[in-house]
Structure 1
Amino acid sequence: MADKAFITPIVLKWARESARMSVETAAAKVNVPAIRLVEWESGRSQPTIKQAQTLAKAYKRPFAIFFLPDIPRDFQPLQDFRRSDSKPLSTGSVFIIREIQQKHAWISETNRENGETKFPFVGRFSIKYNPADVAQDILNTLNISPGKYLGVNAIKEWIDKAEAKGIFISRTSFINAYLTLDSEELQGFAIADHYAPFVFINSDDWNAPQLFTLVHELAHLWIAETGISADIEPTIQKLDKLHPIELFCIEVAANALMPSYLFQNLGGDIYKSASQVFNVAKTFGVSSFAVLVRGLNLGIISFDQYRSLKNAADAEFKAFLIKEAEKKAKQKESVGGPSYYLLQIQKNSRLFTQTVLDAFRGGNLEPTQASSLLNVKINHFHNLEAQLYK
């Protein structure tokens, strides 16, 4: 007979509920009826050690936590700036938020203990300021010139320059092979810490919306507003349902990526056709929709022009997505998917990966903690380093 794990029932239940996992889903992880899991959570019976270990892995909690006498203190939930009718956060979203919070907690504490200087841009402004002024300060701080992205990977430039200033940028669309993220549920979030500013971007979308999300989350750092975001791109609908912080950060992102002086200089000629709008969008690293909304908001085009061009742009965008999907499929067939270790670096943040590896190589971080922070076994660290220096 297998040894029983005499866990604390209320802690087992808390671990499942905090993972946003139903009784049925959790029970299936250990191949038992749902009623059996309910018995474990109420203390009427106990799981085996192996079953408890499987549940700990599924809930992404340390096995030892189940034996605590009471529910432990957990990371504080991030403020939810999404619309009131947004999808509830699912297991994937909860897990990625918790993972980034763990990374942030370590690097923030490390920087404080080392006497690092606070980042001056975090909280430099508030929503009382002009969004255009905040946008310009972001551009100045990161040394970015917008509107020059034709043939250039815009989001890579922004990430590289943000991390060069000490901002950790995590970007992924998966937790594991079986659990992915939904961009309609969560597009990004920011942790506005003076010692360890962190930004997460859900990469379950094409590059233009991801870039807008990134700049939007940077705006959260500049006004020191930690929280979760969705419905980030410019819109002309549902404005009444958006949080004031979100509205402000959308305006900042629009001004940073599509400064009004550049658009005014280009004039109305860029709106002669959907194809022209699409080409301008690529130059600015944004979507055609963002360019249309920007033109409408700046008074360059009328609402009738906007509506007509949007219908044409939607059709052209669908054709573009089909071509992109075909291109990616061919690339995958010829060279395979991206390296697992590259995906881990993007998920961890390139800057965070480098920081952890430096601390580990310097003897300032225990091997098990370094492995846990990077989600990679110690004997595979050389694979991470190989990708870092490519």
Structure 2
Amino acid sequence: MAEKVKINPSILQWARKTAKITEEQAAAKAGVSLERYQAWERGDDFPTISKAQKLAHDFRRPFALFFLPDVPRDFQPLQDFRRLGSVELGTGSAFIIREIQQKQAWISELNQENGEKPLPFVGKFSSKDKPEEVAVDILHTLQIDPSNYSSSNVIKDWISAAERQGIFVSRTSFIHSKLTLGSNELQGFAIADPFAPFVFVNSDDWAAPQLFTLVHELAHLWIAKSGISNEVEPVTPDRAKFHPVELFCNEVAASALMPMDLLHREVSADFSYRYEDVFSLARRLGVSAYALLVRLYKLGMLTLSQYGILKEQADLGFQQFLLKEEQRKAKQKDSEGGPNPYLIKLNKNSRLFTQTVLDAFRGGVIEPTQASYLLNVQVNKFPKLESLIYG
């Protein structure tokens, strides 16, 4: 008979609950009956070593944690700024938030130990300030000119600019093959720490909403409001369902991505207000046609009638875009066998975080096992990550 291990049942229960996993799901993962699993959480019975290791893996907790005498202090939950009526955060969201919190805590401690100064832009403003002023400061700090991006990949330009200023940007929608993140549940979140600010963007969205989410989360840093967001978008109706902080950060994002003076230059007297022209301008700015229409309407540059007509065309254009995207992704998967797994890990970890960990590892500051744990990559595969950073 396989040897059983006397784990702490209270910690087993805590690990399951913080992973947003039900008793039924945990029993199925362990391959035992519900009654047997419940006996483990009561302490009436104990799992075998292999079963306990399997549960530790499924709950994303170190196996040794099960043997502590008391439930450890976990990271404090981030404030939930999501829209009223949002679905409860699931297992995937719990895992990605915890993972980013662990990375953020490590890099913040490292930066403080190295005598790094706090970043002056974190908490520089509050939600009582004017969104336009915050937007101008973001553009100035990141040295971004929305009228003159350096490439056609606008979100990449923004991420590179943010990471040059010490902001860690993580992007993924992928936990593992059977666990992904839906953007309706979690679109992004921010940890506004002055020594290691971290931003997460759910890449389940297409490029334009991802960019808007990124700048929205940057606004959270500028007003020092750590928290979780979903349904990040320019808002016209139903504002009551949105948290005031979210409305403020939306205004900041809209002002940064679509500055008023730029729009007045672009939408001059000879602007036709045809959907093709609106779409072309939105594409150059890296935003959705809908986001641009809302911005133009709020600035009084569109009548309500014009807005309504163009909004219908934008909705139709978006459906056609989604169809083309599905076809493109299917074709890419067939020809390339899917995305590069190391590029996925690099984007998930943040390029800046990956580079920092690799530098610490190469400099002997951290052990190979810790570096591997932080990056979730085997040490002998580090060159694959490095080739993507510096290649």
Which amino acid is the alignment partner of residue 50 of structure 1?
A: S
Which amino acid is the alignment partner of residue 343 of structure 2?
A: L
1:283 is displaced (CA, Å) by: 1.1
| 1:212-248 alpha-carbon deviations (Å, 9 max, x no partner) | 0000000011111111111111011221111111111
Which amino acid is the alignment partner of residue 372 of structure 2?
A: S
Match status 1:105 vs 2:91: no
> Does structure 2 conserve the Cα–Cα contact (< 8 Å) formed by 1:150 and 1:284?
no
Q: Report the Cα distance in structure 2 between the residues aligned to 1:151 and 1:107, rounded to whole angstroms.
A: 30
Which amino acid is the alignment partner of residue 309 of structure 1?
A: L
1:199 is displaced (CA, Å) by: 0.4
Distance 1:270 1:191, change over 3 A: farther
Q: Report the Cα distance in structure 1 between the residues aligned to 2:276 and 2:43, rounded to whole angstroms.
A: 64
Counterpart residue number, 1:247: 247
Q: Report the Cα distance in structure 1 between the residues aligned to 2:203 and 2:307, rounded to whole angstroms.
A: 28
Counterpart residue number, 1:65: 65
Aligned length: 390
1:149 is displaced (CA, Å) by: 5.3
Counterpart residue number, 2:187: 187
* Equivalence map 1:124-163=2 (5 Å): 124-148=124-148, 152-163=152-163
Which amino acid is the alignment partner of residue 61 of structure 2?
A: R
Partner SS for 1:134: helix
Which amino acid is the alignment partner of residue 218 of structure 1?
A: L
Identity %: 60
> Does structure 2 conserve the Cα–Cα contact (< 8 Å) formed by 1:82 and 1:231?
yes
Partner SS for 2:252: helix
Counterpart residue number, 1:358: 359
| 1:53-82 alpha-carbon deviations (Å, 9 max, x no partner) | 100000000111111112111001011111
Which amino acid is the alignment partner of residue 160 of structure 1?
A: S
> Does structure 1 conserve the Cα–Cα contact (< 8 Å) formed by 2:169 and 2:351?
yes
Distance 1:162 1:151, change over 3 A: closer
Q: Report the Cα distance in structure 2 between the residues aligned to 1:90 and 1:76, rounded to whole angstroms.
A: 17
Unaligned residue ranges in structure 1 (runs of 5+): none
Counterpart residue number, 1:39: 39
Q: Report the Cα distance in structure 1 between the residues aligned to 2:84 and 2:264, rounded to whole angstroms.
A: 35
RMSD: 1.4
Partner SS for 2:45: coil
Q: Report the Cα distance in structure 2 between the residues aligned to 1:279 and 1:151, rounded to whole angstroms.
A: 16
* Equivalence map 1:232-381=2 (5 Å): 232-267=232-267, 270=271, 272-381=273-382
Q: Report the Cα distance in structure 1 between the residues aligned to 2:150 and 2:360, rounded to whole angstroms.
A: 38
1:181 is displaced (CA, Å) by: 0.4
Q: What TM-score does the superposition give when structure 1 sets the normalisation length?
A: 0.97
> Does structure 2 conserve the Cα–Cα contact (< 8 Å) formed by 1:275 and 1:313?
no
| 1:241-287 alpha-carbon deviations (Å, 9 max, x no partner) | 11111111000000000011122233376562222221111011000
1:312 is displaced (CA, Å) by: 1.2
> Does structure 1 conserve the Cα–Cα contact (< 8 Å) formed by 2:150 and 2:157?
no
1:131 is displaced (CA, Å) by: 0.5
> Does structure 2 conserve the Cα–Cα contact (< 8 Å) formed by 1:146 and 1:257?
yes
> Does structure 2 conserve the Cα–Cα contact (< 8 Å) formed by 1:81 and 1:246?
yes
Distance 1:320 1:147, change over 3 A: farther
Partner SS for 2:253: helix
Partner SS for 2:46: coil
Q: Report the Cα distance in structure 2 between the residues aligned to 1:286 and 1:324, rounded to whole angstroms.
A: 16
> Does structure 2 conserve the Cα–Cα contact (< 8 Å) formed by 1:274 and 1:316?
no
Unaligned residue ranges in structure 2 (runs of 5+): none
Distance 1:272 1:24, change over 3 A: same
> Does structure 1 conserve the Cα–Cα contact (< 8 Å) formed by 2:151 and 2:157?
no
Which amino acid is the alignment partner of residue 216 of structure 1?
A: H
1:303 is displaced (CA, Å) by: 2.1
Counterpart residue number, 2:200: 200
Counterpart residue number, 1:16: 16
Which amino acid is the alignment partner of residue 350 of structure 1?
A: R
1:151 is displaced (CA, Å) by: 6.8
> Does structure 1 conserve the Cα–Cα contact (< 8 Å) formed by 2:296 and 2:302?
yes
Distance 1:44 1:28, change over 3 A: same
